[in-house]
Amino acid sequence: MAGKLYIVPTPVGNLEDMTYRAVKVLQEADLILAEDTRTTAVLLHRYDIHGRLQSHHKFNEHQTVETVKERILAGMDVALVSDAGTPGISDPGFLLVRTCAAEGIEVQTLPGATACIPALVSSGLPCDRFCFEGFLPQKKGRRTALERLADEPRTMVFYESPYRLVKTLEQFSEVFGPERACSVAREISKVHEEHRRGSLAEVAAWYREHEPKGEIVIIVAGKPAGRRKNGERDDGREEEAD
């Protein structure tokens, strides 16, 4: 009988953000796939988990995915974790999930930590509708990707390196306009968690004077809705009658 693939979120900051179910799954798994075994070992030690660890990251996933699939088909229960957050969200995971799903293997994804949702909810910007863009291309295609989002009406969520934060905010100002509202969340769930809110120009100016450190999530307001011909708004929905 085939085993299962479990996708297990891990804390993005505070190690106490682990769920009881996540700990139980990792304790019972026959194999734990980790983005960095050294990072995961710290978490496993904290929760007295002694499962077998194997590296599974973006540099080797194409070579290991078939072997993992065969092990699950042979009856092993395998748990996949990343260094922080939910695997597959800007971290390895998609390829393995797709391979297992195509083979008919049961995939169970546990709910849990991810940096984008706390950053979004804490931003003060509309979060009923949003789009997640993750990391933008660093070079080729970056400008095109931004211009494609210029008319996006939903709140936008981006991940960014602290070393590129100021430059990215300046690029956002050029494409979206310097007055577009934004929020930069830094070090979610950690001791020095910070949320800096304001216009793109204001937040960029702040971080020019205060060097950012740690994990960064940028939340940018969507394009304000405005009337178009025939009563259509910028978000494509019809204006409600007064």
Question: How would residue 239 be classed by pLDDT, with cut points 50, 70 and 90?
Answer: very low
- Taking only the tens place, the pLDDT of each residue in 59-93 is 999 999 999 999 999 999 999 999 999 999 989 99
The average pLDDT across 228-232 equals: 43
- Taking only the tens place, the pLDDT of each residue in 92-116 is 999 999 999 999 999 999 999 999 9
Residue 241 has pLDDT above 60, yes or no: no
Q: Return the pLDDT at 176.
A: 97
Decide which of 3.40.50.620, 3.90.230.10, 3.40.1010.10, 3.90.1300.10 is the CATH code for 4-109: 3.40.1010.10
| Residue 17: half-sphere exposure toward Cβ, Cα within 13 Å | 20
| Those residues with Cβ within 8 angstroms of residue 180's Cβ, 6 or more apart along the chain or in another chain | 172, 173, 199, 200, 220, 221
Outline which parts of the chain fall under CATH 3.30.950.10. Answer: 116-220
Decide which of 3.40.47.10, 3.30.950.10, 3.30.1360.120, 3.10.129.10 is the CATH code for 116-220: 3.30.950.10
Residue 237 has pLDDT above 90, yes or no: no
Q: Return the pLDDT at 139.
A: 85
| Continuous H helices in the chain | 20-28, 37-46, 61-73, 94-102, 116-122, 142-148, 165-176, 200-209
Give yes or no for a contact between 77 and 33, defined as CB atoms under 8 angstroms apart.
no
What single letter denotes the amino acid at residue 170? Answer: E
Q: Shortest CA distance to 172 belongs to which of 108, 218, 117, 106? A: 218
Outline which parts of the chain fall under CATH 3.40.1010.10. Answer: 4-109
Q: Return the pLDDT at 236.
A: 43
